[in-house]
């Protein structure tokens, strides 16, 4: 049902709802109308045809909020836009489809991070967004983030250079995905310079290794001492050692081997395979001795929790603090043992590629290209480091 008369505050108020919605058109402005719903709600609207001849309807506001004269003037201005080639109804739909940076981050999580990254890394991304990126960029439209915005963010984070760089790295990945998803044409993060963090790699000297060995030899926590020694002799990551199970090791025979499962590797999402890590005879001897002295042989963890043997050990912080204090190596971090392994290997003549293999670095291109490398070649690296660190 339709009707036509001059729309006024009074005439609109007198319109009664029926079983079906209907429209009352204004006699002063073509297309301007009020729609009455069965619920009693009434709203002003505008009918028009765009430049392609398609009929459109634009809602202008509810009658209990918008005055009739205001709605008519708004409709008149929209008709002017239509005459100039505009399509206000389509423009409104486009606005509703706006993707903000908050939306982009949510898509980044569900479509990328939670699929490809470990839970710990995903949690780190969420923290960076909640503390730094979200408050600054969250409400911005993805396509409107500019280089100036990025420079403003980095300036704001000047006192927290490490967090700024990590945030920028996350933002850059989000922007790269936005480009891939046709949400914007470029990634402006690539043009932003990171802050220098003055990170200094710490490598143990031969004398420091001797002091470390001496400190480990008198450590009461024998499991913790063995774990630290294994870190030094294999270059493994702390998480790989702590999550190690006896089934991962082949310690019988001339070529001891440690097969680290995919889920324990950093960047496992890219490698999609386990890591074959040949280990030195000394590392194997440490493990065999640990196994022989284990009070419970049924425990699968190499380094079980003291409180809950059914779980692996959570960390090495306490034992490391005691050992490095005893060895007078207070500036050395646990991860520096891995750095020291790599340094000793390179200084002993091992190639960067072979050291990368021994460390378990994840790189699809390198792994595919050099898939023919034999375990014996990698094992030479482990033996070289073991000899370099041997007690004198």
**pTM, rounded to two decimals:** 0.53
Q: What is the extent of the structural domain holding 364?
A: 206-388
Within a domain: residue 254? yes
Pair (224, 263) in one structural domain:
yes
Q: Are residue 241 and residue 363 in the same domain, yes or no?
A: yes
For residue 164, the domain's CATH number is 1.10.150
Predicted confidence at residue 199, as pLDDT, reads 61
pLDDT tens for 302-348 read: 999 988 888 999 899 999 999 999 999 999 999 999 888 888 887 77
| Confidence (pLDDT) at 366 | 34
Task: Answer for the pair 238, 260: CB distance below 8 angstroms, yes or no.
Answer: no
- DSSP characters over 134-191: HHHHTTSBGGG--HHHHHHHHHHTTT-HHHHHHHHHHHHHHHHHHHHTTS-S--GGGG
Instruction: Spell out a b/e string for 325-350, using b for 16 or more CB atoms within 10 Å of the CB, else e.
Output: eebebeebebebbbbbbbbbbbeeeb
Residues 216 and 345 in one domain: yes
Residue 256 near residue 211, CB atoms below 8 Å: no
Q: Residues 145, 213: one domain?
A: no
Give the tens place of pLDDT for each residue, 166-201.
999 999 999 999 999 888 889 999 999 999 876 666
**Per-residue pLDDT band at 97 (split at 50, 70, 90):** low
Residue 196 belongs to some domain of the structure: no
If asked whether residues 354 and 213 sit together in one domain, one would say yes
- Examine the pLDDT at 102 and tell me if it is beyond 50: yes
Split at pLDDT 50, 70, 90, the class of 27 is very high
Ramachandran region of residue 211, left (φ > 0), alpha (ψ -120 to 50) or beta?
alpha
Residue 368 has pLDDT above 60, yes or no: no
**Would you say residue 369 lies in a domain?**
yes
Q: What is the total count of domains within the chain?
A: 3
Within this chain, do residues 48 and 69 fall inside the same structural domain, yes or no?
Answer: yes
Residues 6+ apart with CB under 8 A from 369: none
pLDDT value, residue 16: 94
Q: Are residues 221 and 357 in the same domain?
A: yes
Looking at the DSSP bridge assignments, the partners of residue 48 are: 56
Between CA 279 and CA 352 the distance in angstroms is 18
190 or 374, which is more confident? 190
Instruction: Give the separation between CA 60 and CA 73, rounded to whole angstroms.
Output: 10
Q: Where are the alpha helices (DSSP H) in the chain?
A: 9-13, 68-83, 88-96, 101-108, 114-116, 119-128, 134-137, 147-156, 161-180, 206-217, 222-234, 238-242, 268-271, 281-292, 317-326, 335-347, 352-359, 364-369, 375-388
Q: Are 165 and 136 in contact (CB under 8 A)?
A: no
pLDDT at 365 (0 to 100): 43
What confidence score (pLDDT) does residue 364 get? 38
Q: What pLDDT does 351 receive?
A: 74
165, 191, 217: which is the final residue of a domain? 191
How confident is the model at residue 339, as a pLDDT?
A: 86
243 and 361 belong to one structural domain: yes
- Whichever domain contains 20, its CATH number is 3.30.160.390
> Widest CA span of the chain, in angstroms?
105
Q: What are the tokens at 171? A: 């933002």
| Judgement on whether residues 373 and 258 belong to the same structural domain of the protein | yes
Q: What is the pLDDT of residues 211-261, one digit of tens each?
A: 999 999 999 999 999 999 999 999 999 999 999 999 999 998 788 999 888
Task: Find where tokens 């809602």 sit.
Answer: 59
Q: Are 83 and 172 within one domain?
A: no
For residues 345 and 213, membership in a common domain is answered with: yes
The stretch 23-44 carries a mean pLDDT of 93
> What angle do the packed helices 68-83 and 88-96 form, to 10 degrees?
100
Read off the CATH number of the domain in which 216 is found: 1.10.443.10
pLDDT of residue 316: 94
Give the Å distances, CA to CA, from 77 to 32, 80, 88. 12, 5, 10
The string of pLDDT tens digits covering residues 54-90 is: 899 998 988 988 899 999 999 999 999 999 999 888 8
Distances (CA, A) of 138 to 144, 154, 184: 12, 16, 16
- Per residue in 258-307, pLDDT (tens digit) is 988 877 676 544 445 778 888 999 999 999 999 888 766 668 999 999 88
């Amino acid at each position: 049902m339709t009707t036509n008369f001059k729309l006024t505050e009074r005439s609109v108020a007198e319109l009664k709802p029926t079983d079906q919605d209907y429209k009352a058109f204004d006699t002063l402005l073509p297309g301007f109308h009020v729609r009455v719903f069965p619920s009693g709600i009434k709203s002003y609207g505008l009918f028009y045809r765009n430049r392609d001849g398609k009929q459109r309807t634009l809602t202008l506001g509810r009658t209990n909020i918008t005055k009739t004269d205001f709605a008519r003037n708004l409709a008149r201005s929209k008709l002017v836009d239509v005459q100039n080639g505009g399509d206000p109804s389509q423009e409104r739909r486009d606005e509703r489809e706006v993707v903000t940076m908050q939306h982009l981050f949510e898509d980044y999580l569900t479509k990328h991070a939670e699929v490809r990254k470990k839970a710990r890394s995903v949690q780190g991304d969420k923290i960076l967004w909640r503390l730094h990126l979200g408050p600054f960029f969250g409400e911005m439209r993805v396509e409107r983030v500019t280089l100036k915005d990025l420079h403003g963010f980095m300036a704001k984070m000047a006192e927290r250079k490490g967090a700024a760089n990590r945030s920028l790295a996350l933002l850059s990945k989000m922007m790269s995905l936005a480009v891939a998803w046709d949400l914007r044409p470029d990634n402006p993060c690539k043009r932003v310079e990171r802050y220098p963090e003055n990170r200094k790699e710490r490598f143990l000297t031969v004398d420091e290794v001797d002091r470390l060995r001496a400190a480990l030899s008198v450590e009461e926590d024998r499991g913790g001492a063995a774990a630290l020694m294994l870190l030094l002799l294999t270059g493994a990551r702390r998480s790989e050692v702590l999550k190690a199970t006896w089934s991962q090791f082949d310690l019988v025979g001339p070529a001891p081997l440690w097969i680290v499962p995919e889920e324990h590797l950093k960047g496992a999402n890219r490698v999609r395979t386990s890591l074959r890590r040949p280990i030195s005879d000394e590392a194997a001897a440490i493990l065999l001795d640990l196994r022989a002295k284990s009070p419970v042989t049924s425990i699968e963890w190499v380094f079980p929790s003291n409180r809950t043997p059914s779980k692996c050990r959570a960390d090495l912080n306490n034992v490391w603090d005691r050992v490095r204090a005893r060895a007078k190596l207070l500036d050395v971090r646990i991860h520096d043992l891995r750095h020291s392994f790599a340094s000793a290997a390179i200084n002993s003549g091992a190639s960067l590629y072979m050291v990368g293999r021994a460390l378990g670095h994840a790189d699809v291109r390198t792994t595919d290209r050099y898939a023919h490398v034999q375990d014996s070649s990698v094992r030479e690296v482990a033996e070289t480091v073991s000899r370099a660190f041997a007690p004198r």
